[in-house]
Structure 1
Amino acid sequence: MRKKIWVIATISLLIIGSVIGINSTDTNAKSSNQKHNNGKVKNVIVLIGDGMGPAYTTAYRYMKDNPSTPQMEETIFDKYLVGMAKTYPEDSEENVTDSAAAATSMAAGVKTYNGAISVDNDKESVKTILEAAKESGKATGLVATSQINHATPAAFGTHDESRHNYNDIADDYFDDMINGEHKVDVLLGGGTKYFDREDRNLINEFKADGYNYVTTTEEMLENENDHLLGLFAPVGFPKAIDRKESTPSLDEMTSEALEKLSQEKDGFFLMVEGSQIDWAGHANDSVGAMSEMEDFAKAFETVIEFAKENEHTQVVLTADHSTGGFSIGRDGVYNFNPEAIKAAKRTPEFMAQKIIEGNSVEEVLSKYVTFDFTQKELKAIKDAASKDDFDTLYSTISEVFNDRAGVGFTTSGHTGVDVPVYAYGPKNEAFSGLIENTDIAEEIFGFLK
């Protein structure tokens, strides 16, 4: 009888392992890692795919699949899946979160209203895990492809009753100190227009306080200062496939942040945001979304490589919410065609801008897309171009790719679905199963004590 129970238990564990993507080799490696470092966490890296609901990571798997093999291959995300997180806010009027409330939950462990930047429902500031890290003597960093004072990075490093107070949030990065030091040692993202204003030049103030300031990939890679402000766009970056070499990838910024922060003997805290997965979702742009997913995946891979070399590093990756009601399959057709998305050399956003600037529809489409458009598709795009309205044209071009790929969207806003959670390091079990998004901050506060 005892042997029978053992066999049933073993089979059950194997089934569970196959479902969540854990095999015996992974488990042994994890146990060995925890034994080696006694489960201690020195460095914490949080990655947030803004808007990256479950359909985005699934679509990315389709995009990376090798069609010559019968089984769909794992992506860098799949290998580290540990659970799901609930995303709802504590808002008297809305029960689907925005990025500010969700980021506050993950940064401070507090549910709050939509639009709040690390303040509670009484609009009182709440301590963040970045601030706790700085108080404990760790180096700190924020990396994003939006403006660095956008909702998600802002919620980790500043406090404000409204996410839309961009100038005040930028000021907070400089003015709000801990033990006489600026809270964030490495700031990399967009937002020049908020840091260099008529009323205040924060760039010069940071430079006067010992920060190196960089504006290009080359300048960033040449930087040797462990206090760094990098602003690479007036607001947000172009989408990944639209960027010039002078604008760094998320991976390059993440690598730079890791190199500088890891010099601190007491460890570091780093938050990395794939910001514009969300922006593409709002625009119902599958090409832009998958471009941003690739950018985010490469940054995650770099973080995992770092964590494998430094076994006292805990990595957790999740999303703040899902955006757009993105679906794989549409109109009753049971098919998803990634090749239609891969046919775009630039995003529909980029193409629409080129047409608005005066380039012909045919010239732009033939230059940046590898498939031939049908007469119906061309007519729709030309009709949209004749209205001389960027948003209409962008939406029309996007819909051609969505339709060909078999991708659907239900909204231009957010949805309330649970989001995936991925982890690597000595404390993975803290993030497993179905958790509240506030649990992420609460667990990390524990690591930092």
Structure 2
Amino acid sequence: MKLLSAVALSLVVSLAHAENGKPKNIIMVVGDGMGPAFTTAYRYYADDKSSPTIEQTVFDRHLVGMASTYPARVSGYVTDSAAGATALSAGIKSYNGAIGVDENKQSVKTVLEQARQNGLKTGVAVTSQINHATPASYAAHNESRHNYDAIANSYFDDKLNGQFVLDVMLGGGWKYFIREDRNLVEEFKSEGYQYIDNLDQLDTLKPGPVLGLFGDSGMPWALDMQDKPRLPEMVKAAVKQLTNDKGYFLLVEGSQIDWAGHGNDVASAMAEMHDLALTLEWLEQYVQENPDTLVVITADHSTGGFTLAANGDYQWDPDPVKNLSMSLTSLAKEMSASKTPIETAEAALGFELNDTEKSLLQNADFKDVKALYGQLKGLLDIRTNSGWTSSGHTAVDVQIFAMGQGKEHFEGFMDNTDIPKIIFEMMESEK
């Protein structure tokens, strides 16, 4: 009798999990700040205008429900990313700023930790620093999201059953892991972790744990890394590193959708959405090939009060943000250093400025990069007819998307705390 090949054995295991209705692998995806306006805008941004219909996006194909996002009573109705992520990771309401702790600042078990205790491999792949609010709320416990150094330390110091909580860590965070008082990179390397600091090195990884840091704090904007989409590449690498017979839990975050919302930056918002959409399209294919995998996608909250059509004008035009060669942040810096700033702007934006727009920019102080960035954002808001009501979060419900084994459990309306409760139930039955 011939031994089963590795591929055949993997298929047998996948079918076994499919038969009992429980996923072997769980991938939780958070679009930070990604309220319904962002997914709607992305549909129009991605639309092929040569066809008579507006095509569905990967978000549309997998929409299953909606979730409320309010935090614990002490913080009112509007959540921050820490309380939102703690709700999604641990199934409890907590105060704004809480990292994996309840209202009394006591640690609570997260779904990622449950996976670790069950013997699954675990990882995070995010575009923020890996000790930012969302990844931290899955893999750490702290009374404040702002204790970045302490959270980074806990990734090394706090063990579960003698093991590190995370096998794979991909994102930003040099300044928190390579410090004067402590070099966590060297400490992880001494424990057998591979360390990389360039996305090109993802292809060189060998089997085993990995720490990959690709930015001082968060990673560069997607618009500034157009040669290699960053989140899809990190997720592909993370899945490859985590794949094993027992299964894995992976947290993925499109972190900077939120940052674009805070900045009221429609150009970066659409680029960050595209980066996440490419990731989901890859996961869509991955689930088809690995039917024992569950992927759940949601947002922790919405950011910016983003509006498609402003000032009573019934139109929204995404075309002006489709051809940027760099982020508006980078463009502001380029214009400040340029002897011909208007020409520099037109080259980067991909369209000619009209007289009003030229006058707007010429009246700006080209040495004030922050003010120039604001003018560029305003210019694109007018061109696209985008509106913003806030530089912060809003309390609107967010969407739930799901694909793969067990996706039916996330259908309909629920609270954000219900999402991890379902995942806990799936994993606890596997112990």
Q: What residue in structure 2 maps to residue 438 of structure 1?
A: 417
Listed as ranges, the matches of 1:53-92 within 5 Å are: 53-92=35-74
Q: What residue in structure 2 maps to residue 412 of structure 1?
A: 391
The answer on 1:151 being equivalent to 2:112 is: no
The answer on 1:303 being equivalent to 2:283 is: yes
Q: What residue in structure 1 maps to residue 32 of structure 2?
A: 50
Cα pair distance change 1:250/1:359, threshold 3 Å: farther
Structure 2 distance, partners of 1:150, 1:382, is 38
Structure 2 distance, partners of 1:144, 1:35, is 28
Moved over 6 A (4+): none
Shift of 1:241: 1.8
Listed as ranges, the matches of 1:80-229 within 5 Å are: 80-229=62-211
Identity over the aligned pairs, expressed in percent?
Answer: 47
Does the Cα contact within 8 Å between 1:37 and 1:426 map onto a contact in 2?
Answer: no
Cα pair distance change 1:211/1:36, threshold 3 Å: closer
Listed as ranges, the matches of 1:264-279 within 5 Å are: 264-279=244-259
What is the RMSD computed on CA atoms of the aligned residues? 1.6
Shift of 1:91: 4.2
The answer on 1:331 being equivalent to 2:328 is: no
Structure 1 distance, partners of 2:340, 2:151, is 41
Paired residue type of 2:242: L
Q: 3-state DSSP class of the match of 1:118? A: coil
Does the Cα contact within 8 Å between 1:242 and 1:346 map onto a contact in 2?
Answer: yes
Structure 2 distance, partners of 1:359, 1:173, is 47
Moved more, 129-138 or 86-95: 86-95
Cα pair distance change 1:237/1:357, threshold 3 Å: farther
Does the Cα contact within 8 Å between 2:172 and 2:213 map onto a contact in 1?
Answer: yes
The answer on 1:293 being equivalent to 2:286 is: no
Does the Cα contact within 8 Å between 1:217 and 1:248 map onto a contact in 2?
Answer: no
Q: 3-state DSSP class of the match of 2:417? A: helix
Shift of 1:34: 11
Q: What residue in structure 2 maps to residue 399 of structure 1?
A: 378
Paired residue type of 1:398: K
Q: 3-state DSSP class of the match of 1:385? A: coil
1:251 corresponds, among 232, 245, 251, to 232
Structure 1 distance, partners of 2:368, 2:393, is 24
Count residues in correspondence: 414
Structure 2 distance, partners of 1:206, 1:154, is 17
Shift of 1:71: 2.0
TM-score computed with the length of structure 2 as normaliser:
0.93
1:316 corresponds, among 296, 302, 305, to 296
CA displacement 1:251-296 (0-9 Å, x = unmatched): 000000001111x211000010000001011111100000000000
Paired residue type of 1:58: T
Does the Cα contact within 8 Å between 1:109 and 1:441 map onto a contact in 2?
Answer: yes
Cα pair distance change 1:364/1:36, threshold 3 Å: same
Q: 3-state DSSP class of the match of 1:269? A: strand
TM-score computed with the length of structure 1 as normaliser:
0.89
Unaligned runs of at least 5 residues, structure 2: 1-14
Structure 1 distance, partners of 2:342, 2:324, is 14
Does the Cα contact within 8 Å between 2:221 and 2:256 map onto a contact in 1?
Answer: yes
Cα pair distance change 1:210/1:409, threshold 3 Å: same
CA displacement 1:219-275 (0-9 Å, x = unmatched): 121111320000011111111121275x7610000000001111x211000010000
